[in-house]
Amino acid sequence: MQTNTDQLATVSLHRDVEYLNKILDKVLFHEGGEELLEKVNKIRSLTKSLRDTKDSSVYLQIKQEINQLEHPLRQNVIRAFSTNLHLFNIAEQNYRSRRRRHYQAQDETIIQPGSLEEGVNTLFENDVTPEKIGELLDKLSLELVITAHPTEATRRTMLRIHQRIADLLKASDYSSTRYSKKVIEETIENEITILWQSSEIRQKKPSVMKEVSNGLYFFDKVLFDVLPQLHQDLEDLLYEKYNKRWHVPSFLRFGSWIGGDRDGNPNVKAETTFKTLQTHRELVLSKYKDSIDKLKELLSQSSQKVTITDALEKSIQHDQKELDYNGWHKEDEVYRIKLGLMLKRLTYTEEDHELGYQSAQELVDDLYLMQDSLSLHHPNNTPVKLLRKVIRQVEVFGFHLATLDVRNHSGEHEATLTEILRQVNITSSYKDLEEKEKMDLLIKVLEDPRPLISVYDEFSEGTQEMINTFRTIKDAKDTFGERAIEVYLISMTASVSDLLEVLVLAKEVGLYRVYPDGSVMSRLHVAPLLETIDDLKDGPEIIKNLLDIPLYRKHLEVRGDLQEIMLGYSDSSKDGGTLTANWELYKAQEEIHSIAADYGVKLKYFHGRGGSLGRGGGPLYSSLLSQPPVTLGDGVKITEQGEVLSSRYLLTDIAYRSLEQATTTMMTAIAGFTDIPEQKDMPTTKASSAMGKISDYALEKYQSLIFKDEGFLTYFNQATPLNELGALNIGSRPMKRKGSNRFEDLRAIPWVFAWTQSRQLLPAWYAAGTGINKFIEETGDLELLQHMYQTWPFFQATVNNLQMALTKADLTTASEYTKMVEDPIIQARIFDQIKEEYTLTKSMVLKISKQDELMDHKPNIKESVRLRNPLVDPLNLIQVNLITKLREAEEDSDEMNELLTEVLLTINGIAAGLRNTG
């Protein structure tokens, strides 16, 4: 049900789309003449007609138009539809921004759902006391971790143009004169022209440092200001309701994997990690200098007019003497003097000079000195917002900007220790030991204060690089602060020894030590990554066995009795299908949380979600709602994949909206409030049992196709653009681990990306229909599932993600891709199964949700998909046509290079249209 605000914003969306389309048509005419404009409009009109009428003759007409296209007109047609989709995305983002502004313009009785204001009101109206608010704020903790796999398919150059067009579109909402509207329209036309004349495709894979730069772009342009604003707004809203001012802890932080994630990426070295942190530091220090410059402009108070604290006066005198610098030319403008001294000290910090700030806390202390002094002569109920903002910036970002996680594969640690232990004559083949033998040996090594290695030892290149990585972690913590690197993540964790191996390597460089009196020093969290179905099932036992080790418990004690555990959505979904993966993830969280509670250990779950539905994607707030509520109180981490960064964090309004929804969701969930009272009792034993049965049926169905049909991999390779994706150059990591051709070693990203491009989206929905249908056939209890959908956030999010995947999938278009399968028997057998399962899954989802059509519960998203389809469809049909020719073309010929370029253009366009890559 749309509100008046939503309806007004929707009307404006259609207006913006038409407005941008009109300008695009002018650019197309200028760049390609009447021929290009007519061809694009004809195809666009036919595909829209096809979606409206389902007329097969129109379908044939579209295919004929596309088959007749030849280079260079064909390339321009591809680019026209891709540009059209990018402009649609910009219009849609402006729609979301406008909708938020409309809500804010209403009186206080009309509050946007999911806003911070709604969250604080919910707490107040449910009689949450100030004491309870303090406890709640102490529990509130959300860390979002940006990753580079895959990076955004769109080049950053293009994203900057998108941002400028978005700013102009927003400005047009406020323009009130004919002249200003004319200037804005002309400027947008200039930007679209530049967009058209710029290269969409990267000529080579980005380096890791280029990926670092791409990730930092969002910190520089948006997050550095949005995060302090959100904290500040929460403080102000609480003050308005409770008439008490809290200093809200810095509960919302961002981390990064870019430059630290070396799992399967040979381009990430120890030196890369250190250089990444240096780049972080350079940016954050330059941002602080800009912020303090702005404060210097603002705080012009004279000591002849106001009284300052003795502490501030002494601090100024001390700094002037130590730095041999006055700070400011007017002796009475004391705040400007202090800020000038702070700028001088920051300059020294950049140079690693001994007179620079030795820690971010020293800078925070200086800022609080100023705030305390200002409180003597400034109204207490309206503190200086800019100063509050700068304090919060330093508290959130420190001198490291974003905490860098380091990740590597468990097999790499095992191989390293096998070589080290053989060289020091402890065991000739560590990797061949039984698990109990490994654990006993590793504990003995950890308890022994003597090192295994020295600086004089020589090892293979891989082992030396591993040792250098741990030395770099220690150097980084010493140089940039403890928060620079806090966690070491272990991919494919399958046993306790996988974690102990990392502690041994940490011990060898001085990050971990057991002293003679039995006490422990540990400067690094060690986190398992559970990412296959079997690992998730074994996870509770692994954690219990780990917590039974006294030495490991001592490690946790000095780390605040906190154990971080990462859950992999991508590989578990690839391994067992989306429905089974989500259920196993949910169960593992509950079971492990219960075990940890028995040991008095807090758990922080790190959800390795992808941007796309097939890898656990979806709205940030929905991801939080679908977790067991008991797991939210110790803090949550979630990955923000490269391909969602621009859609969430390119524009300030959109970034703020996403983060406030997540904050509100966490606050109300931790406090135990929900609009549906029955949600507090979910899942019931009956609901859990039902979900378990559905999952078992779905897993059997999924694996019967993926792992047991001998023709499946042939179908996957030939009926999707999998093999063409590697040339897109969207990330520094290889598509497969160590160049392997095994399905198990194919990364989840190209797995999902390829299915998405072909409009089959199989990983995001396949086998769910069979699982649900078999349960209903066995029990006849459809009403139970309908009740679960209404009252259990996890089940509701699961079903709604199925709806979204089924809506984006299009089997008519997909059927064109299947024609590229060389064996007609394989093609028919597998695609028939996909079609049958699609129909069944759609039927089950509609029955459970009690809807007539998919996405009826989200009319805005449903309308968005409807409007996009006529723009995406031509790109799919052109892509099939091109790939068919490409696979027949002579190797390294001009024709092959030309066709490959055009295929990559279609991949970019389809990714923009479906709003995700992998």
Residue of 39, 102, 149, 587 marked active site: 149
Residue of 221, 574, 604, 808 marked active site: 574
CA 84, CA 871: separation in Å to the nearest integer? 7
For this structure, is 149 an active site residue?
Answer: yes
CA angle 474, 475, 478 (to 5 degrees): 85
pLDDT, residue 589, reads 95
863 vs 200, residue with greater confidence = 863
pLDDT, residue 1, reads 46
Q: Mean pLDDT across the stretch 65-77?
A: 95
CA 628, CA 367: separation in Å to the nearest integer? 40
57, pLDDT greater than 90: yes
CA 838, CA 688: separation in Å to the nearest integer? 25
In this structure, the number of other CB atoms found within 10 A of the CB of residue 307 comes to: 8
- Band of residue 109 on the pLDDT scale cut at 50, 70, 90: confident
Judge contact between 642 and 108, C-beta under 8 A: no
CA 210, CA 280: separation in Å to the nearest integer? 13
Roughly how many angstroms between the first and final C-alpha of the chain, as a whole number?
A: 32
Alpha helices in 672-709 (DSSP H): 685-706
CA 26, CA 24: separation in Å to the nearest integer? 5
847 vs 646, residue with greater confidence = 847
Q: Which amino acid is at 79?
A: R
Q: What is the residue-averaged pLDDT of the chain?
A: 91
Q: What is the pLDDT of residues 704-762, one digit of tens each?
A: 999 999 999 999 999 999 988 877 665 555 555 555 567 777 777 788 889 999 999 99
pLDDT, residue 151, reads 40
Strand 520-522 with 512-514, pairing = antiparallel
Q: What is the pLDDT of residues 577-630, one digit of tens each?
A: 999 999 999 999 999 999 999 999 999 999 987 655 555 556 777 778 788 888
Q: What is the pLDDT of residues 338-372, one digit of tens each?
A: 999 999 999 999 999 999 999 999 999 999 999 99
pTM given for the model = 0.90
- Band of residue 177 on the pLDDT scale cut at 50, 70, 90: very high
Structural element, H or E, at residue 349:
helix 334-350
- Band of residue 915 on the pLDDT scale cut at 50, 70, 90: confident
191, pLDDT greater than 70: yes
Percent of the chain with pLDDT over 90: 77
Q: Mean pLDDT across the stretch 458-471?
A: 96
CA 140, CA 250: separation in Å to the nearest integer? 9
Q: In sequence order, which residues have a C-beta less than 8 Å from that of residue 409 and are 6 or more positions away?
A: 263, 264, 490, 491, 492, 737
Q: Mean pLDDT across the stretch 230-242?
A: 95
514 SS3 class: strand
Judge contact between 263 and 408, C-beta under 8 A: yes
CA 17 vs CA 11, 13, 90, 184, 200: distances in Å: 10, 6, 9, 16, 22
Which structure tokens are listed for 487?
Answer: 């966690």
